[in-house]
Amino acid sequence: MMSAPKVVIPTKKNKISIGRILGKIVLYAMLITSSIVVLVPILWIIGSSLNPGDSLYTSTMFPKNPTFIHYKELFTKTDFPIWYKNTLKIAFANMILSVILTTSSSYVFSRFKFKGKKQGLITILVLQMFPSFLAMTALYVLLMQINLLNTHLGLILVYAGGQIPYNTWLIKGYFDSIPKSLDEAARVDGASNFTTFTKIILPLARPIIVFIALTNFIGPWMDFIFPTLILRTAEKKTLAMGLFAMVTGQTNTKFTTFAAGAILVAVPITLLFVYLQKHIIAGLSSGAVKG
């Protein structure tokens, strides 16, 4: 006598397993697509920098005869070392000055009560909503009047001042999450406001400070508009200005040298990201939640 076939009833566990599998497939498909979109241009620019020719059209991602001649030419036939030194100086100075300005202003807004505090915070909030391009003409005239046009100091002040509104709100949110009882305990022990700020608050806020420092360091490396507006002479040029001038009007005949310069520009930023990865992630998550 033949037995009746068993009817398999879909269980909740099977439905969940299928759903998880489909979810993972979609997730990995998105990750692979994102990786391709990000990595292909990077690999292509690295391959172009190693191509022996100078033309954009003959460059390939995997050159048959790779060479480092373009890297050598950057240091022997162009002002690339001067551009690199100028940009590094501006980026480092902007990073230090921006961190000092924004942490001190954030501490004042976070810890002290004073007349006009609310209006000041609202003003800063409104200011950060205006694009910096709106102030270009005013900045140019202002720098010209105080004789800071065509100087690195003028450019550093523009960068540092422009970062204050956004960074102040971001760091203030982090400072607000630090218990004020720590400040009170320090004052009971005789610590001044400056001592409390530098020896208690700043060490606890290290993740957000590292994040702010890194973003302010990266800004001058990537910017082209403000250096072009403020800097005039060849010895004052930054990397963005120098590399752009190298290919402008050359009908792309120095594109492979430009690619080599772009790779060298990315080196310090990449190293900083790798070295400070832990603090950057902590700072991003802290700023997003508490800011």
Name the residue ranges covered by the structural domains of the chain. 17-66, 71-287
For residue 98, what pLDDT is reported? 92
Q: Which pLDDT band, with edges at 50, 70 and 90, does 291 fall under?
A: very low
Q: Which residue has the higher pLDDT, 124 or 1?
A: 124
| Range 188-196 average pLDDT | 87
CA 148, 153, 156, 157 torsion-angle sign: negative
CA atoms within 13 A on the CB side of 154: 22
Please check the confidence at residue 111 and state whether its pLDDT lies above 70: yes
For residue 49, what pLDDT is reported? 86
Torsion over CA of 271, 275, 278 and 283, rounded to 10 degrees?
Answer: -60
For residue 55, what pLDDT is reported? 73
For residue 156, what pLDDT is reported? 93
Distance CA 200, CA 194 (A): 10
Helices 206-222, 255-275: inter-axial angle, 10-degree rounding: 170
Please count the residues of the chain. 291
Q: Do residues 95 and 212 lie in contact, with contact meaning Cβ atoms separated by under 8 Å? A: no
Please check the confidence at residue 195 and state whether its pLDDT lies above 80: yes
| Range 261-288 average pLDDT | 77
For residue 121, what pLDDT is reported? 86
Q: What angle do CA 152, 153, 159 make, to 5 degrees?
A: 90
Distance CA 191, CA 183 (A): 9
Task: Look at residue 223 and give its three-state secondary structure.
Answer: coil
Helices 117-127, 80-111: inter-axial angle, 10-degree rounding: 150
Q: Is 194 exposed, middle or buried (0-12, 13-18, 19+ CB in 10 A)?
A: exposed
Phi-psi category of 9—alpha, beta or left, where left has phi over 0 and alpha has psi -120 to 50? beta
Task: Look at residue 3 and give its three-state secondary structure.
Answer: coil
For residue 31, what pLDDT is reported? 94
> In terms of CATH, what superfamily is 71-287?
MetI-like (1.10.3720.10)
For residue 32, what pLDDT is reported? 94
CB 125: neighbour CB atoms within 10 A?
13
